[in-house]
A and B are shown apart, each in its own frame.
Chain A
Amino acid sequence: MSAPSCLRCLVRPSAGVTVSSLPRSSPLAVARAAPFSTTTANLRPKKEVQTGGAPKGHVRSGKMLQLGKFKKGKAGDRGRTPAPGERKAYRKRITLSNDNAIPVPWLTDLGPADLANPANTARIMALPTEVQDQLRASEAFKPTQCWGMFRKPAVLVRKETIDMANRMQNAADKRHTLRLVVSGDKLTGKSLMVLQAMAHAHLNNWVVIHIPEVQELTTACTEYAPIPNTDPVQYMQPVYVLKLLQAIRRANEGVLSKILTVSAHPELSQSMPPNTPLLALAGAAKEPDAAWPVFQALWSELTAQGANRPPILLSADGLAHMMKVSDYRSPAFDLIHSHDLALVRLFADALGGGLRLPSGGAVIAATTRSNAPRTPSMELALAQREAEANKGLGGPSSSGAVEVPQRDPFFRGYDDRVEAVLRSVQVLRVRGVDKLEARALMEYWAASGMLRATVDEKAVTEKWALSGGGVPGEMERAALLTARI
């Protein structure tokens, strides 16, 4: 995908190698330590003749030709090794602003109703700073996206965005739950759709709970433990939930500080009397062991009946990982289904309609085409929902053309639980942008100094065609990431 590194940032921030940081035990230091010593060189330990790798009784033992002694040694000192986690942080760093880019004068910030306003179609609008911080806290930005090329992070408002934002708004107004799956071909902007949904939610003071990569939950790379007294056994993921709680805290600070708890939570180690702000409740977990009960308490507070709660947005990126058997194993060495992991179960129940959000809200999940396992049940379910929706829209004229796909009667890999979850979701298919939106994008890029070309219809049509009909990721590849000067 896109190149994440900025030319300026090649140097590691901690690189400050000075003379003083040289290791003390270098031969130079030793030599300096005793310049006028009368000790002879005889005391230097004799170097043993290398006999190579052959043991003593071998036919080839004894002196052998050493070709290795002419090899050059390691090229100098490489500096100190990075601290644990530093490499990962460097790899996953998000740069949202680049001072080399030219500031675009006509760029306006997003307002609460902007993403739902049809008049804003094919407009680039910037994310306000608070929303930036909130999105960064919940890891909505990805390192493979091109944020670091522009002065301010900005998004293109597409017709799909407006559609989705309006649906969210309707759901919130009516206190229903919008259950939406964003799907489409690769590079069409599904993750960005979720980001825009989150931005809309933040701007409208919703509570946002985002799972940036569902694969971190199901590929057996975080701690897991069985929750006692559950039948069938559910598993919690304490370390991940702790991280998630911290992210929720940072992202929803403003909103959560205004909501007060309704009930006491005696099961928590810390005493949480009623009428404490939820922010404190979320911050009650300092250890992974305490994370899951705190999360449960937080969730129960957020979905408490009768209390005046804001709408909740549950979002996730990478739905396919959630819709299959995970890589975890139970103590009896059976593979654990993803829906038996407690956090995933919460999401799946919400998506399936089993979980009621009293103040309304939305559950939005995006599929991913790169790095997704084959999930025949999910693919079939989404195809069926789309076909049903198209049938409804098209009316009698298109009913014959679009057939609802059926299960293959001779295939045994279907998953009933997954089909149950996706039985009544809505599907938003993200396609390529149209010419107007493409033009807006390219004008923004040109105005930022990233595109050295006149943005007339010819250029726009050219890039639109090159990207397979306006696929935004391909347009970036074709226009932004080429180093033609």
Chain B
Amino acid sequence: MASPANLLRLCLRPSRRLPNLGASAARQFAHRRPLSTTQWRPAPTPKSPDDEASEKAVDDELEKAFKNPGEYFNSLISDESVSDEERRLAQRMLEDWNKVPPAEQQDIEQLAQDVTKEAAQLRRPVFVKRDSFWHVDEPDQDLITDEVGEDDFEEDDIMAMAHAKLEEHREFREYARIAVWEMPLLSKMAKPFEPPTEAEVLRFRYTTYMGEFHPADRKVVVEFCPKDLPDLSEAQQLKLKKLAGSRYNPERDIIKMSCERFEHQAQNKRYLGDLVNKLIETAKDPTDMFEDIPLDTRHHKFKPQIKFPKEWYLTEERRKELEGQRKQALLLDGQKRTEGALIDGVEVIQHAMLHAKPVETVPVLRRGQRGRR
């Protein structure tokens, strides 16, 4: 019963002879929030002087009520303009108030006074100086700090990087969840692999970027072997290869063409299909079979297939062969040694030096000068 709600009801009783109270009550209630800590802001709409007066009156009354409830209730009881019901309510509230121990009453009154005093600053209307440039002189309307202990870290939060890491972990868990619970269900959509039949001669390659739009996903590449094309004779196949030019790989015997001229994959694929048909048609055309033009493979570098020579493998036979050769060589050496036919260069030189004839020194005659004997 002794609730602030009841108290407010009394303050804002309809029996007070105040004009437009009902109309402005809601508005005022919205504007005047007694225990609010948010800065009061003037409403953009202009108020009539009646409204302002009524607001001020209500304000005063509320102040009185909360500061000294006992006196207010007594005043209400003794007031004649108050209705019976309201008087009874006031009576009841007075009884409740008196039940409260006086220390607590003082506390409550003090609290109300403190709050009002605290909020008085905020509730003071701030008038904007219209001459200041960009309202630089305006105090910061959102600043409600006393700047003491504001930046203290209460050990209750983590850095943005840590939040991001947690978010990442959540992402991993999301995908792990999908992998464990949803991906096995994909097996239901699996189709058995059917290799391409003989009739499927063209092999197309498409590109997808998994949902993104990318300029390269319109390219289509087709590969085929001229031998697989139906009803082409050898000469016609050769003509086809010559027509293909550098699109023909002679080592793999495949013609590979691509198209990205058009905007859609389907268009490019259609173009390639038409192109292949045109090629086949031209290849079958007997007007000019290009017999005198040789197939040009200069665009392709053939990889030399190097195999280890069979003769160089060291098999048992080869080993035996080499052993035999070496044995024969040794025998030949031995034979020559016994014959004395093994020539040793050093010995030969020494022998020659020993048996060399001494060189006769011939005095060199100087070419005489003219006229001198």
Task: Name A's B-contacting residues (CB within 8 A).
Answer: 16, 18, 20, 102, 409-410, 443, 445-447, 449-457, 461
Contacts and interface: CB of A to CB of B under 8 A. Distances in A.
Contact of A447 (B326, B329, B333, B343): B343
Interface in B339-373: 342-346, 348-349, 352, 366-367, 369
Contact of B329 (A102, A454, A457): A457
Contact of B343 (A20, A410, A446, A461): A446
Nearest to A19: B369
Nearest to A451: B345
Most chain A CB within a 10 A radius of its CB, from B298, B330, B333: B333
B182 interface: no
Contacts of A446: 343-345, 348
Contact of B345 (A16, A18, A410, A452): A452
A346 B93 CA distance: 148
Given A18-B366, A452-B345, A454-B346, 9 more contacts: A102-B349, A102-B352, A447-B345, A449-B348, A454-B343, A455-B342, A455-B344, A456-B333, A457-B330
B367 to A, nearest CB: 6
A405 B241 CA distance: 23
Interface string B172-202: 0000000000000000000000000000000
B309 interface: no
Nearest to B366: A18
Contact of A20 (B294, B332, B369): B369
B95 interface: no
Contacts of A18: 366-367, 369
10 closest Cβ contacts across the A-B interface? A457-B329, A446-B345, A409-B294, A452-B345, A454-B344, A102-B352, A451-B345, A446-B343, A20-B369, A449-B349
30 contacts: A16-B367, A18-B366, A18-B367, A102-B348, A410-B294, A410-B296, A410-B298, A443-B343, A445-B345, A446-B343, A446-B345, A447-B345, A447-B348, A449-B345, A449-B349, A451-B345, A452-B345, A452-B346, A453-B344, A453-B345, A453-B346, A454-B346, A455-B342, A455-B344, A456-B342, A457-B326, A457-B329, A457-B330, A457-B333, A461-B329
A458 B294 CA distance: 54
Contacts of B346: 452-454
Given A454-B342, A455-B345, A449 B352 contact: yes
Contacts of A450: 345
B345 A454 contact: yes
Nearest to B297: A410
Chain B: interface size category? 10 to 19
A479 to B, nearest CB: 10
Contacts of B332: 457
Contacts of A456: 333, 342
B266 to A, nearest CB: 40
A292 B352 CA distance: 53
Contacts, number: 50
A134 B345 CA distance: 32
Contacts of A443: 343
Contacts of A454: 342-346
A20 B330 CA distance: 67
A443 B343 CA distance: 6
A454 B348 CA distance: 10
A409 B298 CA distance: 11
Contacts of B326: 457
Interface string B202-229: 0000000000000000000000000000
A102 B357 CA distance: 12
A455 B329 contact: no
A455 B341 CA distance: 10
Contacts of B344: 446, 453-455
Interface string B287-323: 0000000101010000000000000000000000000
Interface in B139-164: none
A123 to B, nearest CB: 14
Most chain A CB within a 10 A radius of its CB, from B343, B345, B346, B349: B345
A52 B345 CA distance: 64
A18 B366 CA distance: 9
Contacts of A457: 326, 329-330, 332-333
Contacts of A461: 329
B110 to A, nearest CB: 105
A107 B298 CA distance: 57
Interface string B268-298: 0000000000000000000000000010101
A455 B333 CA distance: 9
Contacts of A451: 345
A164 B366 CA distance: 53
A164 to B, nearest CB: 28
Contacts of A447: 343, 345, 348
Most chain A CB within a 10 A radius of its CB, from B298, B333, B348, B367: B348
B348 to A, nearest CB: 6
A457 B330 CA distance: 7
A18 B296 CA distance: 76
B245 to A, nearest CB: 13
A477 to B, nearest CB: 17
A451 B332 CA distance: 20
A238 to B, nearest CB: 39
A16 B369 CA distance: 12
Nearest to B294: A409
B78 to A, nearest CB: 124
Contacts of B294: 409-410
Contacts of B298: 410
A20 B371 CA distance: 12
Contacts of A453: 344-346
A11 B3 CA distance: 138
Nearest to B341: A443
A118 B199 CA distance: 67
A410 B294 CA distance: 9
A453 B330 CA distance: 17
A451 B349 CA distance: 9
Nearest to A106: B341
B320 to A, nearest CB: 18
A456 B343 CA distance: 8
A259 to B, nearest CB: 45
A102 B354 CA distance: 12
Contacts of B369: 18, 20
Nearest to B344: A454
A310 to B, nearest CB: 40
A420 B332 CA distance: 50
Nearest to B336: A456
Nearest to A457: B329
A20 B344 CA distance: 52
Nearest to B332: A457
B64 to A, nearest CB: 109
A421 B310 CA distance: 39
A78 to B, nearest CB: 19
Nearest to A445: B345
A447 to B, nearest CB: 6
A350 to B, nearest CB: 35
B122 to A, nearest CB: 90
A452 B367 contact: no
B275 to A, nearest CB: 26
Contacts of B352: 102, 449
Nearest to A101: B352
Contacts of A449: 345, 348-349, 352
A179 B329 CA distance: 39
Contacts of A102: 348-349, 352
